[in-house]
Amino acid sequence: MEYLVDLAEKILNEALNRGAQDAIVRVQEKVYESIVFDNGILRVCSISRVSGLGLTVFVGGSVGYSYASIVDRDSIPKIVDEAISVAKALEYGSEKRLVGEEVKGARGSYRTEFKVNPFDVDLETKVKLVNNLNNESMKKEGIVSAFTRYGCEIDRKYIVSSFCSKVQVEVVAIGLSHLAVARYGDIVERVGDQKTFIGGYEFIEKFDWSSFVNEINDLAYRASQASTITPGVYQAVVDNELVGLLLHEAFGHASEGDAVYSDLSVLKGRLGQVVASEKVTIVDDGMVSGGYPVPFDDDGIEKKVTYIVKNGVLAGYLNSIVTAKKLGQIPTGNARAQDITFNTIVRQTNFYMLSEDAKVEELFEGIDYGVYLKGRGAGGGQVNPALGTFTFGVGPSYIIRKGEMGELVRSVIVSGNILEVLKNVDMVANDLNVTTSVFGGCGKMGQMVRVGDGGPHVRVKKLVVGSR
């Protein structure tokens, strides 16, 4: 990667000399180690590496992007010309700079601190850990299939721009995921979960993985013996994990400046309006504990805490340099790209709801017949941000009867309209929890980036609940 860093400033200058009014150069190297045991057999043990250089140019009103994995001094003019010709082809015909002095690039660096470099740890040690956990699972009663995975990612970036950005970021994320498939009679159910830390191998060494994997196996087996929920409309308590998923998908995407600008967001034109119950405050925060660190975005802008909803009122949107300009706002440090093959788009970092003061158990009081919706084993979600409609696969959950936890139900999905749901939030607990994952993230427009999400437990007056 070092030789690409050396070339970055040269390319930046070349772009400005060849007609770009502004430019951003991003050098990136992502290394991912993966060890997978599937039904007792090692299926993956690999270290993959993606590296290269990407160039964004601003010409008149247009933005062009070019990238290459094969870069040397001789190929600089080609990369620069491609980006500029792409931008010019868009023919906005304006001589005016799209963005200018108001954009303040960041200077600085961030590096994840760790005690034990995961890549220095003996491969056999890691293989043995995953092998044991997977083999133990396969011996459990009712478990017919198990998939256990170790993952570690080092993402290094170097960004320079004509907006005076010069930032260096190195994030190390490490974790383990487990998927158990259980059978009871003819019923087959699966539950998967993961735990990720930002840091080194010391986190793997001190965490109790055996209990973690056992809980998943146990939940899968109990779920296979559970009945499905009767589809209908329920009063619901939603746990931290599911609140995070719901907010990210159904609200976070609608708060992204590109969606707002292009009429694809249900939140467009609602700044200052009530969009949720007054108990709801939502932020996007680059550096929250438990989340994925995003100190600077991929355009080289500092990521600070952005308030999206304050006490139920829509307070702001997430912006890149480009969407901020188009919406007449300021960049919030939310321009992110999967890797060098993509230009940045507006993305969330760690998007979560803030705590209120209720105790978790108080949320259950007074519910005559409802459902406690759990995130563990959830299947993910999908949303139409233009309309605010969403649907989510929920993990094994519990029926609530007269304020008490009743039986487990499996294969639950929820759907609704996010604005209606957030207005129906009548209690918010005091147990904020934010998490991230080295195994997945957000896949907007085909680009996977790591994100964090979470929140406290919340209670919703009514939710459409179905079965999958």
Q: Count the residues of the shown chain that bind other proteins, applying the rule CB under 8 A.
A: 85
Question: Which of residues 175, 291, 381, 395 is near other proteins by CB under 8 A?
Answer: 381
Question: Which of residues 342, 352, 372, 439 is near other proteins by CB under 8 A?
Answer: 342
The answer to whether 317 and 329 have CB atoms below 8 angstroms apart is yes
For residues 225 and 142, give the distance between their C-alpha atoms in angstroms, rounded to a whole number: 10
- Closer residue to other proteins in complex, CB, 366/380: 380
Helix (H, G, I), strand (E, B) or coil at 364: coil
- Would residue 37 be called left, alpha or beta, if left means φ above 0 and alpha means ψ between -120 and 50 degrees? beta
**What is the smallest separation between the CB atom of 175 and other proteins, expressed in angstroms?**
17
Q: How many other CB atoms are found less than 10 A from the CB of residue 359?
A: 12
Question: Which of residues 116, 274, 327, 386 is near other proteins by CB under 8 A?
Answer: 386
Binding residues among 266-325 for other proteins as defined by CB under 8 A: none
**What is the smallest separation between the CB atom of 428 and other proteins, expressed in angstroms?**
25
- Closer residue to other proteins in complex, CB, 121/288: 121
The answer to whether 31 and 154 have CB atoms below 8 angstroms apart is yes
What DSSP assignment string belongs to 38-54? Answer: ETTEEEEEEEEEEEEEE
Residue 383, beta-bridge partner list:
390
* DSSP 8-state secondary structure symbol assigned to residue 162: T
Bridge-based pairing of strands 380-384 and 389-394 is: antiparallel
Binding residues among 110-149 for other proteins as defined by CB under 8 A: 123-124, 127, 131, 144-145
Asked if 405 is part of the footprint of other proteins (rule: CB under 8 A), the reply reads no
For residues 409 and 224, give the distance between their C-alpha atoms in angstroms, rounded to a whole number: 9
Bridge-based pairing of strands 369-373 and 232-238 is: parallel
Asked if 416 is part of the footprint of other proteins (rule: CB under 8 A), the reply reads yes
Question: Which of residues 354, 363, 383, 427 is near other proteins by CB under 8 A?
Answer: 383
For residues 76 and 66, give the distance between their C-alpha atoms in angstroms, rounded to a whole number: 11
For residues 449 and 217, give the distance between their C-alpha atoms in angstroms, rounded to a whole number: 29
- Would residue 416 be called left, alpha or beta, if left means φ above 0 and alpha means ψ between -120 and 50 degrees? left
- Closer residue to other proteins in complex, CB, 70/328: 70
Binding residues among 35-94 for other proteins as defined by CB under 8 A: 38-39, 41-52, 54, 62-71, 82-83, 85-87, 89-92
**Residue 8-37 contact track with other proteins, rule CB under 8 A, x = bound:** ------------------------x-x---
The vertex-242 CA angle with 149 and 192, nearest 5°, equals: 25
- Closer residue to other proteins in complex, CB, 108/443: 443
For residues 37 and 44, give the distance between their C-alpha atoms in angstroms, rounded to a whole number: 7
- Closer residue to other proteins in complex, CB, 290/379: 379
Binding residues among 153-182 for other proteins as defined by CB under 8 A: 181
Alpha-carbon distances of 266 from 5, 103, 260, 284, rounded to whole Å: 41, 27, 8, 18
Binding residues among 222-261 for other proteins as defined by CB under 8 A: 231-233, 258, 261
For residues 256 and 269, give the distance between their C-alpha atoms in angstroms, rounded to a whole number: 13
**What is the smallest separation between the CB atom of 367 and other proteins, expressed in angstroms?**
16
Binding residues among 190-229 for other proteins as defined by CB under 8 A: 190
Asked if 441 is part of the footprint of other proteins (rule: CB under 8 A), the reply reads no
Of 10-18, 351-359, 395-403, 409-417, which segment contacts other proteins by CB under 8 A? 409-417
Of 103-111, 205-213, 408-416, 451-459, which segment contacts other proteins by CB under 8 A? 408-416
**What is the smallest separation between the CB atom of 319 and other proteins, expressed in angstroms?**
14
**What is the smallest separation between the CB atom of 354 and other proteins, expressed in angstroms?**
27
**What is the smallest separation between the CB atom of 399 and other proteins, expressed in angstroms?**
16
- Strands of the sheet containing 433-436, edge to edge, are 313-314, 306-310, 282-284, 350-353, 452-455, 433-436
- Closer residue to other proteins in complex, CB, 225/389: 389
**What is the smallest separation between the CB atom of 110 and other proteins, expressed in angstroms?**
24
Question: Which of residues 148, 162, 338, 411 is near other proteins by CB under 8 A?
Answer: 411
Helix (H, G, I), strand (E, B) or coil at 223: helix
Asked if 327 is part of the footprint of other proteins (rule: CB under 8 A), the reply reads no
Closest among 56, 54, 58, 55 to 92, alpha carbons compared: 58
Q: How far is CA 353 from the centre of its chain?
A: 15
**What is the smallest separation between the CB atom of 40 and other proteins, expressed in angstroms?**
9
- Closer residue to other proteins in complex, CB, 86/116: 86
Asked if 380 is part of the footprint of other proteins (rule: CB under 8 A), the reply reads yes
For residues 377 and 365, give the distance between their C-alpha atoms in angstroms, rounded to a whole number: 26
Question: Which of residues 74, 95, 263, 368 is near other proteins by CB under 8 A?
Answer: 263
Q: How far is CA 314 from the centre of its chain?
A: 21
